[in-house]
Structure 1
Amino acid sequence: MKHVCTNCPMRAKYDKDPKSLIGRFWRWHINFCPGWKAYFTSLGKEEQKSLRDQYKFTKYL
């Protein structure tokens, strides 16, 4: 299943400028977004670790 999180425009804004308003909103949003949870938990352990490091994400351990 392809998740829209891989090409999310708000995620791209965060990647470009994490301190932007949209970037900060996206980072806050992933803490409870069911789509992000489904996407994140569908990934392998190495990909999850990479995203955890990149986005300082600590949920779904």
Structure 2
Amino acid sequence: MSSHPCTTCKLRARYDRAPRSLLGRLWRWHIGFCPGWKSYLRDLPPEERADVQRKYSLRAE
């Protein structure tokens, strides 16, 4: 399990429950430029990274 706060982020959990909520949309917008999120993705194993990218409709970097 990752030590990144992204793993247990309350806004991410809100997005997972209600992607169209205001806080869910705020989190989705935020990950577009968040250096912590980018670090979190880089630290994930390739298979898990691909799953996260697919789940959140992110392009592979």
Compute the TM-score of the two structures, normalised by the length of structure 2.
Answer: 0.91
Deviations 1:6-61 (A, max 9, x none): 000000000000000000110110010011011110001101110011000115x2
> Are 2:16 and 1:35 aligned?
no
Q: Give the unaligned 5+ runs of structure 2.
A: none
After TM superposition, the structure 1 = structure 2 runs for residues 1-61 of structure 1, keeping only pairs within 5 Å, are: 2-58=3-59, 61=61
**Corresponding pairs, count:** 60
Which structure 1 residue ranges, 4+ long, deviate > 4 Å from structure 2? none
Identity of aligned residues (%): 48
RMSD: 1.2
CA distance in structure 1 between the partners assigned to 2:19 and 2:36 by the alignment:
20
Compute the TM-score of the two structures, normalised by the length of structure 1.
Answer: 0.91
Q: Give the unaligned 5+ runs of structure 1.
A: none
Match of 2:23, SS state, is helix
